[in-house]
Structure 1
Amino acid sequence: MFNALSLIPVIGAIVSFAFAFMLIRAYRERKVTFQLMWGIALALFGLGFVGEALGLALGWTQFSAKLYYLFGGILAVGYLSMGTMYLLKPGPAKWIASISVIIILLLWIPIHGIKIFNSNLTVGLIILAVYLVTIIGIFFVSPARSVLFALIAVTVLATGALMSYSVDINLLTKTESWREVMTLPLRSGAFALSSAGTFIIIIGAIYSAVTGWSDKKRRPQINNTIIIAVGVLIAALGGTLHGIFDIGKQQLLSLSTTLGISVMYVGYLRGRRKK
């Protein structure tokens, strides 16, 4: 039977790719790096939605499940946070990124870390090393380059792990629970990038609002930044609650992500109209 809710990821894909196209076109015109990173992130969201739409319409397969989880579940929010890193000056970027990564590391240890160390010490040490190298790099090398290193490292590790893993399609179809079917290291990667990325974007938006609110000329821009940050929070919240607490089924995840990206798009369009 046709379910109208299955159209949600189709709408999400259309919005994401339209947003990505606008961002990439703006980057080609102005060569502003944050627009490139946001464009990449929205394209990743779009690919994730394509996988989800295929899974809901035709039934989940290895291809659609991995396409959705890798691009939409693990990578997208992390690459979105790189836009914030390139928008911030080096000083604020350093403490915002360091606070975000340290908080997520401290949360990761009890949520995922201890279990990973007990089941596979080598994998646990590799993940911990990525955290520590990122934190050290933020302080002593470059905040943006260090966060980008973490993104690339997780992208490579997650892609390799997911490609070699066989998703239990029957269990996924029955439970609609990614927590049930994905390995602990893969869920750890999704938690790290989505949570740290969300922290960076939200704290960055708060910092911009606090430091720039006294300048009346900047207030419209700050309002748009806050709208975009709220959109990110909506998009990331559904996946985070599902990944940690197994709250919400597939269509709820799709709805929260689509709504969040739509709010982000509105914030970006408002900013363009005021220029």
Structure 2
Amino acid sequence: MTFLNVVLPLGSSVLSFAFAAMVLDQWWQRRQGFQLVWGIGLVWYGIAAGSEFWGGAFGWSETVYRTWYLIGAFFVAAYLGAGTVLLLAKTRFGYFVGGTVLFGGLLSLLFSHSPRYPGAATAGNVTFAIALVGGIAIIAATASRRELAARIAMGVLVVASIGVGYLVLTAPLQAPGWALDSNTHVPVGAAFPGYVRVLTGPFNIAGALCLIFGGIYSAYVYMPKKRVLPARMAVLAVAVNFVASLPGAVAALRQGRLNSRVPATILIAVGAFIPGLTSSLNRFGVTWSFFLGEFLGLLLIFVGFLVSVDVFRNVRIGITLWSRHPSASLESEVG
């Protein structure tokens, strides 16, 4: 046991549950579906980090390890990303969502046929087939009826969550029933068979990308724009125009004219990127940054949500502690 292996996960868990309570309270006030799903995602975050704290402080067990892997590797990023998908349901963001699901499925397929994960080919093939159907359905729905795309994405996620839940809870584990990095004592997924590990792509990769680029897209919507490429070029136009618009956004910030959602959503995007990066490094044996990235990422997302007028109109702990006037919603801006 090391000090940071206990303190950082504990901090992440406590902050996650407090954050979840605030978001779910906002959902209770406003009944917005994206807030409910974000709240669920933050509860998952708290459980995953809590299992890390428990393992570091009191010792790992098979139950704690399975809980950590199921929630952390499959649910956290997926449900936080799904909340962003629901927020942007009236926009063309569904095209990107469908693409990330396809990309995650493709990575699962490629991983499953690598020597690193023996015996995982069938799981990879099935995962890719499901991701292919789901991704195409999301893209098709975006083209014809945008709000339906978010519902399809949520439906696929819920059904897939049940499936991977069964597989993770029943998969045989290598002795002693969990796996830790020998140097840092950070948990790794190596105790699970390859057919389970290759399933994570459409969950954590697609979820993280939706959360990151959903934040960037939202910032782009609200910042003063310099359009270099026409909107019909979709994702490429957003990426290029976002970069081209940054100098104007910085100038507006200095003059006090920048919409508060711009720094808020950029903080959320950066906060999502950090644990996404450190989790990916963990998969390939670089574990020293795992707990730190988890905590810093959550902290940045928390600050970003507090800054966002659209998300936190009131802050309450039993009673209203702080309130501000509503402004135009993201949906009305981009719908």
TM-score normalised by the shorter chain: which range applies?
0.7 to 0.9
Unaligned runs of 5+ residues in structure 2 are 142-147, 226-251, 313-322, 326-335
AA aligned to 1:17 is F
Pick from 285, 307, 312 the counterpart of residue 270 of structure 1: 307
Q: CA deviation at 1:200?
A: 1.3
Residue 247 of structure 1 aligns to a residue whose secondary structure is: coil
User: Does 2:262 correspond to 1:225?
Assistant: no
Rounded to whole Å, the distance in 1 between the matches of 2:219 and 2:40 is 25
Distance in 2 (CA, whole Å) between partners of 1:164 and 1:38 is 28
Q: State whether residues 216 and 265 of structure 2, in contact with CA within 8 Å, keep that contact through their aligned partners in structure 1.
A: no
Alignment-derived partner of residue 136 in structure 1: 136
Residue identity opposite 1:168 in structure 2: Q
How far off its partner does 1:99 sit? 2.4
Contact 2:85 2:150 in 1 (8 A): yes
Q: 1:4 offset after TM fit, Å?
A: 4.5
How do 1:1-275 and structure 2 match up within 5 A? Answer: 3-113=3-113, 119=119, 122-141=122-141, 142-168=148-174, 170=176, 172-173=179-180, 175=182, 176=186, 178-214=188-224, 219-243=259-283, 245-249=284-288, 252-271=289-308, 272=312, 275=325
Structure 1 SS opposite 2:179: helix
Q: Percent identity?
A: 25
- Structure 1, unpaired ranges of 5+: none
| Structure 2: distance between partners of 1:2 and 1:114 | 34
| Paired residues, number | 272
The separation in 2 between residues aligned to 1:114 and 1:19, in whole angstroms, is 39
Normalised to the residue count of structure 2, the TM-score between the two structures is: 0.73
RMSD over equivalenced CA pairs, Å: 2.6
Deviation at 1:116, TM superposition (A): 9.9
Taking the aligned partners of 1:257 and 1:120, their CA distance within structure 2 comes to 28
Quick check: 2:274–2:293 contact (8 Å CA) kept in 1?
A: yes
Q: Distance in 2 between matches of 1:11 and 1:147?
A: 31
The answer to whether the 8 A contact 1:179-1:187 is kept is yes
Give 1 or 2 for the bigger CA radius of gyration: 2
Letter in 2 for 1:219: N
* Change in 2 beyond 3 A, CA 1:133/1:178: same
C-alpha distance 56-152 of structure 1, shift in aligned 2 (>3 A): same
Code of the residue aligned with 1:200 in structure 2: it is C
Q: 1:224 to 1:123 in 2, by over 3 A?
A: same
Letter in 2 for 1:67: T
Matched to 2:179, the amino acid is: L
CA distance in 1, matches of 2:274, 2:71: 17
CA deviation vs aligned residue, 1:129-154 (integer Å, no higher than 9, x gap): 22022112202343212221332233
Contact 1:65–1:167 at 8 Å: present in 2 too?
no
Greater helix share, 1 or 2? 1
Does the 8 Å contact 1:104/1:195 carry over to 2?
yes
Q: Tell me: CA distance 1:93–1:174, structure 2 relative to 1, closer, same or farther (3 Å).
A: closer
Aligned CA distance change for structure 1 residues 259 and 117 (closer, same or farther; 3 Å): closer
Aligned 8 A contact 1:131 1:150 in 2: no
Q: Equivalents in 1 of 2:279, 2:4: separation in Å?
A: 21
* Structure 1 residues 177 and 11: alpha-carbon distance in aligned structure 2, compared to 1, 3 A threshold: closer
**More displaced stretch, 180-189 vs 51-60:** 180-189
Give 1:2 deviation, angstroms: 6.1
- Residues 113 and 120 of structure 2 are in contact (CA less than 8 Å); yes or no, is this contact kept in structure 1? no
C-alpha displacement of 1:61: 0.2
Structure possessing the higher relative contact order (Cα contacts under 8 Å, 6 or more residues apart): 1
C-alpha distance in structure 1 between counterparts of 2:62 and 2:217, whole Å:
42
- Sort the Cα spacing of 1:22 and 1:160 in 2 relative to 1 into closer, same or farther, 3 A: same
Offset of residue 227 of structure 1 = 0.6
